[in-house]
């Protein structure tokens, strides 16, 4: 196959200097032009994230600090008529929340199961450009929690909201790929709204194979983001 490609390109294997230049390009992974829409001051960036999240049929609630999350979860479940029981990502930030104040909430920590009605996921980053969540897999953030439940709740901090996707890649490279031997996590999901299909007569219906509802609880931990 390589020989056939080289015949088409009318050359042999790349000469060393050209291969070096390509390796340098991979190492530098230069950014291509980035749309201007997310290059705005922090408070506007958070608003843009929220607007895009809502445009894509997800919901978002802001809370002043982490301590307010269990209360927000309990209220959301009650409002949606959902049972007070959650499959929760075993992430230290979620484990540290004051769940004891809400004894009626039942938590199961671990990966997603087919019987889960509601999952609670830890948000790694939010991308304002399109209201997208970046959810890289880890022992603390199992991918199945994004897929099997009917309703997914994601807890995200405003300090983790970036403008374009490229800034999310920068975070991931520095925090995950570099310490993990240059390898990306096994699975990185970018999630924009709840699952949907337009396969029946091109009409959009929410709730295909993944969650029917996506709810984001946003902890306002970034002073610069407060307008």
Partner 1 sequence: MHATSTTFPQNAARAMADASLQKAMARTKPMFPARRAAAVAALPEFEALRETGKQIKNHTLANLDFYLETFAANVERAGGHVHWCSDADEARAAVLKICQDAGARTVTKGKSMISEELGINKHLEAHGIAPVETDLGEYILQLRDEPPSHIIAPAFHLNREDWEASFRKSHTDLPADRVFHERRDILTEARTRLREKFLAADVGITGANFLIAETGSSVIVTNEGNGDLTQTLPRVHIALASIEKMVPTLEDCTSLLRLLARSATGQDFSVYTTFSTGKRRPDDLDGPDAYHVILLDNGRSAMIGTEFQDMLRCIRCAACLNHCPVYGTVGGHSYGWVYSGPMGSVLTPGLIGVDQAGHLPNASTFCGKCESVCPVKIPLPKMMRHWREREFERHLSPATARAGLRLWRWFALRPQAYRLATRAAAWAMARLSRKKGRFADLPFAGGWTDGRDLPAPEGETFFTRYAREQRAGRA
Give yes or no for residue 50 binding partner 1 (CB under 8 A): no
**Considering beta carbons, is residue 146 or 158 the nearer one to partner 1?**
146
Give yes or no for residue 209 binding partner 1 (CB under 8 A): yes
Shortest approach of partner 1 to residue 50 CB, angstroms? 15
User: Rounded CA gap, 141 and 138, in Å?
Assistant: 5
- Strand-pairing partners, residue 155, are 122, 217
Give yes or no for residue 45 binding partner 1 (CB under 8 A): no
Residue 182 burial by Cβ neighbours in a 10 Å radius (0-12, 13-18, 19+): exposed
Shortest approach of partner 1 to residue 135 CB, angstroms? 9
Give yes or no for residue 2 binding partner 1 (CB under 8 A): yes
Shortest approach of partner 1 to residue 7 CB, angstroms? 7
Shortest approach of partner 1 to residue 123 CB, angstroms? 15
Give yes or no for residue 71 binding partner 1 (CB under 8 A): no
User: Rounded CA gap, 184 and 28, in Å?
Assistant: 16
Shortest approach of partner 1 to residue 226 CB, angstroms? 26
List the structure tokens of 165: 């996707």
H or E stretch covering 118: strand 118-122
User: Rounded CA gap, 65 and 221, in Å?
Assistant: 6
Applying CB under 8 A, among 52, 119, 149, 158 the residue interacting with partner 1 is: 52
Give yes or no for residue 22 binding partner 1 (CB under 8 A): yes
Shortest approach of partner 1 to residue 71 CB, angstroms? 28
Shortest approach of partner 1 to residue 63 CB, angstroms? 25
List the structure tokens of 21: 């230049």
CA 145 to chain centre: 12
Applying CB under 8 A, among 70, 195, 217, 218 the residue interacting with partner 1 is: 195
Give yes or no for residue 110 binding partner 1 (CB under 8 A): yes
* Rg, the chain, Cα only: 21
Q: Taking a C-beta distance cutoff of 8 angstroms, is the pair 195, 209 a contact?
A: yes
Size of the site for partner 1 (CB under 8 A): 74
H or E stretch covering 52: helix 42-55
- Which of the residues 124 through 143 are near partner 1 (CB under 8 A)? 129-130, 132, 137-139, 142-143
Give yes or no for residue 15 binding partner 1 (CB under 8 A): no
Give yes or no for residue 189 binding partner 1 (CB under 8 A): yes
H or E stretch covering 155: strand 151-157
């Amino acid at each position: 196959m390589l020989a056939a490609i080289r015949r088409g390109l009318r050359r042999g294997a790349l000469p060393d200097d050209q291969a070096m230049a390509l390796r340098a390009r991979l190492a530098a992974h230069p950014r291509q032009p980035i749309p201007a829409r997310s290059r705005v001051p922090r408070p506007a960036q958070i608003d843009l994230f929220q607007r895009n999240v809502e445009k894509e049929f997800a919901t978002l609630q802001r809370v002043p600090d982490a301590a307010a999350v269990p209360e927000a979860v309990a209220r959301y479940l009650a409002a949606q008529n959902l049972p007070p029981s959650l499959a929760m990502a075993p992430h230290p930030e979620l484990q540290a929340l004051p769940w004891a104040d809400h004894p009626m909430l039942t938590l199961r920590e671990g990966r997603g199961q087919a019987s889960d009605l509601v999952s609670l996921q830890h948000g790694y980053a939010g991308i304002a450009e399109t209201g997208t969540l970046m959810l890289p897999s880890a022992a603390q953030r199992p991918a199945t929690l994004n897929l099997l439940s009917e309703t997914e709740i994601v807890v995200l901090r405003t300090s983790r909201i970036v403008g374009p996707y490229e800034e999310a890649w920068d975070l991931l490279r520095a925090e995950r790929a570099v310490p993990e031997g240059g390898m990306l996590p096994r699975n990185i999901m970018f999630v924009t709204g709840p699952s949907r299909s337009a396969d029946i007569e091109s009409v959009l219906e929410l709730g295909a194979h993944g969650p029917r509802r996506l709810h984001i609880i946003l902890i306002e931990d970034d002073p610069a983001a407060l307008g």
